[in-house]
């Protein structure tokens, strides 16, 4: 084993670490040298969004010490930034194993540093944390969650005073402070318990009142109150608020998937607790079919992602992808506000660069500015902050099953999304249609866009290097054609540069640097390559489009677009 790794192991075995930790290290040392190397070969990186990793002992794992040291660095930065001003933070957590322990650890460290802490009394959806930061005028916050990752993972998302996750310059500055913490001896672990206040029901009520205020057509819900809704929290935090929010909206016919209703960090009924995965939604699909429901909805463990299923025009249940859900939500918020008479000339919407261009078409045709930002809701939050004096944000979203409706929170929110999607279903039912019917109508009106995503996982020490090599290869030798269609534009967000490969014309991309490449083909197809910021994956996003003259041509055009995506995947040797 590498000497540098052995040195780190010995520091933990001989240092001021608890006996249970030392025993666990000795056990791994005896049984599995490879796992020992993985646990210590690097320090778990405090990235621009915080920490995320496998739970266990070691410098490259989520544990009391890595969480405590990160919190000490964050606390130091908050105190340096705000000086003599009282600093307040809000702490929340999800259903994952150790999440409560990590949240209490974070609260104790902040409290010991003289910081006022509002700690949720039990698990809550992540979006409620974002709302609470703004509610208390706090300077920061932390939620302990690994979102939709497998059960072995946990994480630590850091937030700033607007309720959004850290963005420049704070993200890099916090990272610097965290990196300065060299050992647990530098962490203030105890002594500030009096600075911690538990929060719960009152905050729930304030948050749910905000969500209720997002409803555009409550009278339609009153007419369609018995809309048959099936909901699964997939063992996560959604169970704490989603059923009550639906009740407050006026829905009276809500069915919970009982097998997935109890919060459980082992996620016993799924492999990945992610509503993007059909397997995670399969129990809900069965219940929806058995009940002949109108809509199925599922949320991930920390309730910031939402997946939905509806019946297609043949009465078959289908899962919507994140782009389709976003298209429906954006169209509703733009069109319904117009119909209601509450749209303003200042309205604007925001999406990410890998989310369907169909949203841009919808916004443009309705005279609403649509801005593109980098992947991640922190960039949506940052743009709202930049523009809120002059423009009125109504909705933002990204293809990975995330929506943020209204400007009272600054992170994706599946709780409000579930409620509004059900309102949308009720509105369409009141007009004799389903959400699927509405989606096809939108394709006819604004263009038929179809998207797909492939994730390639590269685990371990070598994995990150392989992903970097793939990106470098595309950067240095971009394809001139894909699937027989010429590449017209190369967009390199790392270099902040765009280039027309036909004319040689170049331009600057006015967004922060990000390791993303996009190839735009002559026929309007777009392929994006992006290493994940939270998982050992590289993601490839595919978007193709055509015109749809009428509903009757939908099936044939769908097949054509699916074949085009498969051709692109084959052309890039990704299958």
- 524 Rama sector, left if φ>0, alpha if ψ -120 to 50, beta otherwise: left
- Decide if 139 contacts 117 (C-beta within 8 A): no
Name the phi and psi angles at 361, rounded to 5.
Answer: -60, -45
Paired residues of 482 in beta bridges: 485
The answer to whether the bond into 196 is cis (omega within 30° of 0) is no
C-alpha 149/C-alpha 153 separation (Å) is: 6
Closest CA to 492 of 461, 525, 520, 464: 520
Closest CA to 279 of 237, 230, 229, 234: 234
- DSSP summary character for residue 122: S
Task: Return the sign of the alpha-carbon dihedral for residues 110, 115, 120, 121.
Answer: positive
How many helices (H) and strands (E) are present in the chain, helices listed first? 18, 23
By the 10 Å C-beta count (0-12 exposed, 13-18 middle, 19+ buried), 268 is classed as exposed
- Decide if 113 contacts 153 (C-beta within 8 A): no
End-to-end CA gap in the chain: 36
Name the phi and psi angles at 373, rounded to 5.
Answer: -130, 170
- Decide if 313 contacts 305 (C-beta within 8 A): no
- Decide if 305 contacts 147 (C-beta within 8 A): yes
C-alpha 426/C-alpha 251 separation (Å) is: 10
Q: Which of 39, 99, 130, 147 is catalytic?
A: 147
Burial 289-306 (b: 16+ CB within 10 A, else e): eeeebbbbbbbbbbbbbb
Enumerate residues 6+ apart whose C-beta is below 8 A from 131: 163, 203, 206, 207, 210, 408, 409
- Decide if 354 contacts 398 (C-beta within 8 A): yes
For residue 147, indicate whether it is catalytic.
yes
By the 10 Å C-beta count (0-12 exposed, 13-18 middle, 19+ buried), 523 is classed as middle
Name the phi and psi angles at 355, rounded to 5.
Answer: -95, 150
Paired residues of 306 in beta bridges: 299
> What is the H or E stretch that residue 56 is in?
none
Active site residues: 147
């Amino acid at each position: 084993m590498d000497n540098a790794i052995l040195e780190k192991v010995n520091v933990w075995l001989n240092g001021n670490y608890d006996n249970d930790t030392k025993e666990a290290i000795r056990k791994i040392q005896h049984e599995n040298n490879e796992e020992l190397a993985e646990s210590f070969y690097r320090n778990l990186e405090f990235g621009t969004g915080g920490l995320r990793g496998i739970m266990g002992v070691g410098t490259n794992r989520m544990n009391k010490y890595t969480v405590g040291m990160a919190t000490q660095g964050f606390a130091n930065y908050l105190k340096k930034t705000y000086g003599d001003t009282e600093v307040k933070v809000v702490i929340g957590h999800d259903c994952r194993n150790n999440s409560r322990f990590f949240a209490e650890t974070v609260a104790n460290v902040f409290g010991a540093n003289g910081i006022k802490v509002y700690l949720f009394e039990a698990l809550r959806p992540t979006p409620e944390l974002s709302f609470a930061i703004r509610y208390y005028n706090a300077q920061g916050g932390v939620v302990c969650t690994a979102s939709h990752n497998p059960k072995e993972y946990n994480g630590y998302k850091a937030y700033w005073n607007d309720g959004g996750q850290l963005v420049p310059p704070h993200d890099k500055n916090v990272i610097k402070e965290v990196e300065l913490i060299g050992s647990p001896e530098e962490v203030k672990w105890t002594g500030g318990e009096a600075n911690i206040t538990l929060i719960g029901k009152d905050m729930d009520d304030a948050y749910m009142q905000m969500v209720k205020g997002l409803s555009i057509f409550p009278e339609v819900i009153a007419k369609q109150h018995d809309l048959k809704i099936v909901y699964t929290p997939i063992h996560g935090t959604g169970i704490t608020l989603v059923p009550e929010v639906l009740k407050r909206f006026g829905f009276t016919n809500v069915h919970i998937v009982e097998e997935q209703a109890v919060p459980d960090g082992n996620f016993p009924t799924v492999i990945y607790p992610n509503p993007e995965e059909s397997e995670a939604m399969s129990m809900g699909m069965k219940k929806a079919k058995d009940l002949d429901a109108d809509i199925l909805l599922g949320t991930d463990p920390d309730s910031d992602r939402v997946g939905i299923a509806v019946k297609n025009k043949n009465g078959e249940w289908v899962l919507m992808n994140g782009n389709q859900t976003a298209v429906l939500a954006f169209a509703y918020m733009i069109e319904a506000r117009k119909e209601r008479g509450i749209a303003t000339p200042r309205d604007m919407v925001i999406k990410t660069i890998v989310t369907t261009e169909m949203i841009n078409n919808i916004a443009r045709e309705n005279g609403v500015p649509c801005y593109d930002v980098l992947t991640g809701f922190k960039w949506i939050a940052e743009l709202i902050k930049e523009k809120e004096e002059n423009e009125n944000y109504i909705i933002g979203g990204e293809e990975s099953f995330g929506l943020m409706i209204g400007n009272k929170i600054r992170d994706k929110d599946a709780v409000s999304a579930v409620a509004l999607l059900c309102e949308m279903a009720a509105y369409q039912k009141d007009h004799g249609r389903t959400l699927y019917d509405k989606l096809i109508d939108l394709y006819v009106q604004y263009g038929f866009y179809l998207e797909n995503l492939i994730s390639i996982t590269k685990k371990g020490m070598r994995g990150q290097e392989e992903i970097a090599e793939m990106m470098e290869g595309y950067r240095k030798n971009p394809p001139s054609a894909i699937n027989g269609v010429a590449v017209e534009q190369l967009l390199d967000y790392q270099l902040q540069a765009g280039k027309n490969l036909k004319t040689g014309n170049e331009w600057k991309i006015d967004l922060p640097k990000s390791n993303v490449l996009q190839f735009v083909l002559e026929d309007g197809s777009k392929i994006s390559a992006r290493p994940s910021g939270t998982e050992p994956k590289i993601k490839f996003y595919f978007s193709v489009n055509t015109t749809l003259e009428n509903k009757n041509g939908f099936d044939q055009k769908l097949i054509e677009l699916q074949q085009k995506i498969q051709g692109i995947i084959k052309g890039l040797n990704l299958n």
